Structure 1
């Protein structure tokens, strides 16, 4: 997930949000309050930054990471979740884009590897431009849904760089490929599948395990 905001802008917004959190949530029941978040500035490339999300946790995500990109006006989001970033991307995308009033991009390029024994992952190919105003939102997706059936989604205004002829392919899984998603991103000046697109700065958002007590046992959150 990427949003059209610099790392500095995200850090400033997160810092202010954390500063005002007690006042904003003063009248909420304790169980409904968000947990204190520590912000840590990091440096390095993707290989140095991603391990800072470990250990992965679930169902609650205790660590999130924003990484600066080669295009400094865009930042990439990663969730330290046992379910992967994709599981949290939709909510995070809409939330950040709404609060910062910027466009965002959700992408997924997960081929279908699910086997009969339950191993592997269902296919999930997604290219979504999110416009907080709604008018410019564009969603193209080829995904495995309920009953292991492929579902194709095509919503919003077509962009000039799209290969629309592929959307009529007989097999739904052929209507949106990883190569197409990479090319669509490149048309926007973004190269999320290239390692050197990331860094050299990151921002780690971390909630301490004890901040979830007494509501849950933090030992049950950590990936074994």
Structure 2
């Protein structure tokens, strides 16, 4: 009698190649273009993407069976390499990544191809849950999940997602297709809302059969597009398929955190040391959808540049508006070691008075400096004695305990103090009055980074500014 299979093993048997090439095949992207056109389009996207390798972008054509072509992605985890495969539906090309975990197709498949180029895409993900908690070591396995994202010719978006949040949760958005059984999505149990068979049914109606081996490489053709680091990338670990699966997809094997050095087959970094063609990097050229705020974004970007020692870019985000967020900064490092800062700004911020935009620009940028990298504000972060004084001042204003995480309050005050130390900017009544004129968020709305939040609001920050000598003085803090 054969051993009893777990739910994860039963699902894996239904996936591509029985799941033997997971995690690579856990998430598969599809581009509605023939293979040769898709390879050119993908390479051009990489040339203008945030990934900027020293050695350029290599493109190599290969032939073989599906398993042989998947082997061209090895080693996993080191560098970045994409495999583009033809399918039996000549309109669609499949793409997979040399990932050791979860492939990140967000920029190409959800931004570049559908929005910038008008090319339909589909992203399919199905990962068995096999998480196993162990008494004396870290848990093994993956949490599992299932998702489908679609952007069609008309710009129509459709998404379905089943994810493990202890318990499982199901979500779907966009307009359903006629062939979907929408009543199923109201099933009492989340797992019954979006089973594997439903994912297969929708994909087949869209012309795809992502979990069948014979759907791929009918003529044995594929392309590898890869970043060429010339062996200079630091910190990149090289995993064999077995090492990448250990402790995750194969939970009977102990996790491999330090793979065998170099995996002797791949000493130099790129699996294809002599690509058929090497194309230069062109610098990051993000696609920006035209909006009514384009001029205001450029003006705000100029304000950001006045305070930045790094290259900086501003962009519009209407989604942040729903969370009550004015602006959100992020710092990133490219493949060549370059560092840049991006700031997402909301229409509310872009339409605010100049003093608000200027102070916010300083707040967004001065968290980082060239000399101290990502921890510039730490020189101003209050110590325990100073925190006690800050809490007392808040109590006097009836604002303690804080209504947000205390670290967020101290961080905000530290950056405010830094701005006043290194610039001529000050918090003023103009900022406070503008904040008071804004509509209050509805009860229950998220308020992270929200200027209207009373713990981090400009009014209380201006009050703290008036008590600077009481907080930041040599009696409490001897730092220079």
Any idea what SS the aligned residue of 2:230 has?
helix
Query: Residue 123 of structure 1: CA displacement?
Result: 2.5
CA 1:73–1:175 in 2, change beyond 3 Å: closer, same or farther?
same
CA 1:15–1:156 in 2, change beyond 3 Å: closer, same or farther?
closer
CA 1:16–1:168 in 2, change beyond 3 Å: closer, same or farther?
closer
Distance (whole Å) between structure 1 residues aligned to residue 42 and residue 146 of structure 2? 30
CA 1:138–1:33 in 2, change beyond 3 Å: closer, same or farther?
closer
Distance (whole Å) between structure 1 residues aligned to residue 59 and residue 51 of structure 2? 18
Match of 2:115 among 98, 117, 127: 98
Is structure 2 residue 93 aligned with structure 1 residue 75? yes
Distance (whole Å) between structure 1 residues aligned to residue 116 and residue 224 of structure 2? 19
The unaligned stretches of length 5 or more in structure 2 are 1-28, 240-258, 260-480
Query: Residue 16 of structure 1: CA displacement?
Result: 5.1
Does the 8 A contact of 1:185 with 1:192 survive in 2? yes
Does the 8 A contact of 2:84 with 2:94 survive in 1? yes
The unaligned stretches of length 5 or more in structure 1 are 26-31
Larger Rg: 2
Does the 8 A contact of 1:3 with 1:97 survive in 2? no
Does the 8 A contact of 1:140 with 1:155 survive in 2? yes
Query: Residue 14 of structure 1: CA displacement?
Result: 4.3
Distance (whole Å) between structure 1 residues aligned to residue 148 and residue 170 of structure 2? 12
* Total equivalences in the alignment: 203
CA 1:128–1:90 in 2, change beyond 3 Å: closer, same or farther?
same
Is structure 2 residue 200 aligned with structure 1 residue 182? yes
Does the 8 A contact of 2:113 with 2:120 survive in 1? no
Is structure 2 residue 190 aligned with structure 1 residue 162? no
Does the 8 A contact of 1:143 with 1:173 survive in 2? no
Does the 8 A contact of 1:142 with 1:151 survive in 2? yes
Distance (whole Å) between structure 2 residues aligned to residue 16 and residue 63 of structure 1? 14
Any idea what SS the aligned residue of 1:184 has?
helix
CA 1:207–1:126 in 2, change beyond 3 Å: closer, same or farther?
same
Distance (whole Å) between structure 2 residues aligned to residue 181 and residue 33 of structure 1? 32
Distance (whole Å) between structure 2 residues aligned to residue 122 and residue 57 of structure 1? 20
Is structure 2 residue 32 aligned with structure 1 residue 4? yes
Question: Higher strand share goes to which structure?
Answer: 1
Query: Residue 17 of structure 1: CA displacement?
Result: 5.8
CA 1:173–1:201 in 2, change beyond 3 Å: closer, same or farther?
same
Which deviates more, 48-57 or 112-121? 112-121
Greater RCO structure (CA 8 Å; 6+ sep): 1
Is structure 2 residue 180 aligned with structure 1 residue 152? no
Does the 8 A contact of 2:81 with 2:224 survive in 1? yes
Distance (whole Å) between structure 2 residues aligned to residue 179 and residue 33 of structure 1? 36
CA 1:132–1:217 in 2, change beyond 3 Å: closer, same or farther?
farther
Is structure 2 residue 135 aligned with structure 1 residue 115? no
CA 1:71–1:33 in 2, change beyond 3 Å: closer, same or farther?
closer
Which deviates more, 108-117 or 1-10? 108-117
Name 1:28's counterpart in structure 2. Answer: none
1:27-52 CA-to-partner distances (Å, cap 9, x unmatched) read xxxxx761211000112231121000
Is structure 2 residue 141 aligned with structure 1 residue 141? no
Distance (whole Å) between structure 2 residues aligned to residue 89 and residue 14 of structure 1? 11
CA 1:70–1:152 in 2, change beyond 3 Å: closer, same or farther?
same
Distance (whole Å) between structure 2 residues aligned to residue 222 and residue 182 of structure 1? 33
Does the 8 A contact of 2:43 with 2:225 survive in 1? no
Distance (whole Å) between structure 2 residues aligned to residue 176 and residue 14 of structure 1? 31
Query: Residue 99 of structure 1: CA displacement?
Result: 4.1
Name 1:62's counterpart in structure 2. Answer: 80
Any idea what SS the aligned residue of 2:105 has?
helix
Distance (whole Å) between structure 1 residues aligned to residue 98 and residue 51 of structure 2? 21
Provide the TM-score with structure 2 as the length reference: 0.39
Provide the TM-score with structure 1 as the length reference: 0.80
